[in-house]
Homo-oligomer: A and B are copies of this chain.
Amino acid sequence: MELSITEKKEKGTRPEDAKLAFGTTFTDHMFNMDYSIDKGWHNPRIEPFANLVLSPATMMLHYGQGIFEGLKAYKTETGEIRLYRPRDNFKRLNKSAKGLCIPTIDIDFIMESLKTLLRLEKNWIPETPGTSLYIRPTVIATDPYLGVRASHTYRFFIILSPVGAYYSAGFNPVNIWISKDHVRAVRGGIGEFKTPGNYAASLFASEQAKKEGYAQVLWLDGIERKYIEEVGAMNIFFCINDEVVTPKLNGSILPGITRDSVLTLAKRWGMKVSERKISIDELIKAHGDGTLKEAFGSGTAAVISPVGEMRYGDKVLTIADGKTGPVAMKLNKAITDIQYGKAEDTEAWIEKV
């Protein structure tokens, strides 16, 4: 396959770094590629960022057959452009593809195409610490057909958005709401895939949480509604006594790449780390006897998000006095230092562009 490139004539300008929000501004170009049963993936092209023209019967709009990824490109002080574990994102995209009956993509080819796109858009990558270029690879089912089945055609696209810090409050603890009534995903379902339906399922409880003043929802398992799963767009970790613990991947949790980075680093540092079931009762108890030292989320958008407060029904659990704890702090620094080229890439996580 040969990548074709059509450059935009009049280039746009990147907003000032200080004014960047999350996911609202897009760069001049995007990557597009089509799939049909006859041709497989074909016509890969970089072209000016443009609207999609879709039949109102497009299957994605009716049956939600789609998948996506989220990763970032970082610019170092010396102007180098770096991707953080990008192949892991494309591996996860291919896993999501299988789960949603979508044809997989060739990771090497996509990596090369993404790098070409990033080189073209290098002026769109902001430089201020904490900022980055968010990369959103997406696949949507495009058959204009109203019966329920896997589509025969797809569009794959990558769009880029220069982003500021995810939480406008900065690296300050967030408050999270534990949903008693709503469930995001269940064993045997699509929770472990990055597919739009999971986020649709999260909206009602998220809006409820927002009304109560909480930034995100912490989900419990769909069966017993007792075991911690993950947060809206992050995996979750707790420091209980001297143990760093996170829910085991069970089929209904997204296998986060930041989660994996946290586990790897914490082990490397000789910390006691475990992936296991964690019940809400265990957390309440640990909070009560003072052994719940920290809680934090992990995800591409915010890297590490300390949790200052968790609410479960009438119970409000304040954690680490509502401040950022040392483990969250250390992990955030270690990961962002690798991303921005301030520390050695001991784990071979970085791919230079």
Give Cα A140–Cα B184 distance, bound, in whole angstroms.
20
Q: A196-B62, A223-B222 are in contact. Are A54 and B54 (CB under 8 A)?
A: yes
| A146 CB-CB contact with B under 8 Å | yes
Separation of A87 and B68 alpha carbons in the complex (Å):
36
Q: Which residues of B contact A81 (CB under 8 A)?
A: none
Given the interface pairs A190-B200, A203-B101, the reply to whether A159 lies near B57 with Cβ below 8 Å is yes
* Contact call A138/B56, Cβ cutoff below 8 A: yes
Cα separation A64 to B140 with both chains bound (whole Å): 11
Contact present for B23 and A100 (CB under 8 Å) = no
Q: How far is the CA of A108 from the CA of B24 in the complex (A)?
A: 36
Asked whether A206 and B54 contact (CB < 8 A) given A61-B66, A189-B186, A222-B223, the answer is no
Is A134 in contact with chain B by the CB < 8 A criterion?
yes
How far in angstroms is the closest Cβ of chain B from A65? 5
Minimum CB–CB distance from A312 to chain B (whole Å) comes to 15
Q: What string of 1s and 0s marks CB contacts (under 8 Å) between A50-69 and chain B?
A: 11111111101111111010
**Contact, CB under 8 Å: B183 / A188:** yes
Interface centre among A64, A147, A199, by most chain B C-beta atoms within 10 angstroms, is A64
Q: Which of B159, B182, B201 contacts A56 (CB 8 A)?
A: B159
CA distance A62 to B69 in the complex (A): 10
Query: Does A14 belong to the interface (CB within 8 Å)?
Result: no
User: 1/0 contact trace for A164-206 toward B, CB 8 Å?
Assistant: 0000000000000000011111111110000111111111101
- Contact in complex: A200, B64 (CB < 8 Å): yes
Give 6 new A-B contacts, CB below 8 A, not counting A57-B159, A197-B200: A49-B56, A52-B56, A61-B140, A65-B203, A183-B188, A190-B200
Q: Please, could you name 6 A-B residue pairs with CB atoms under 8 Å apart, sorted by A?
A: A54-B54, A60-B61, A64-B66, A64-B198, A150-B203, A222-B223
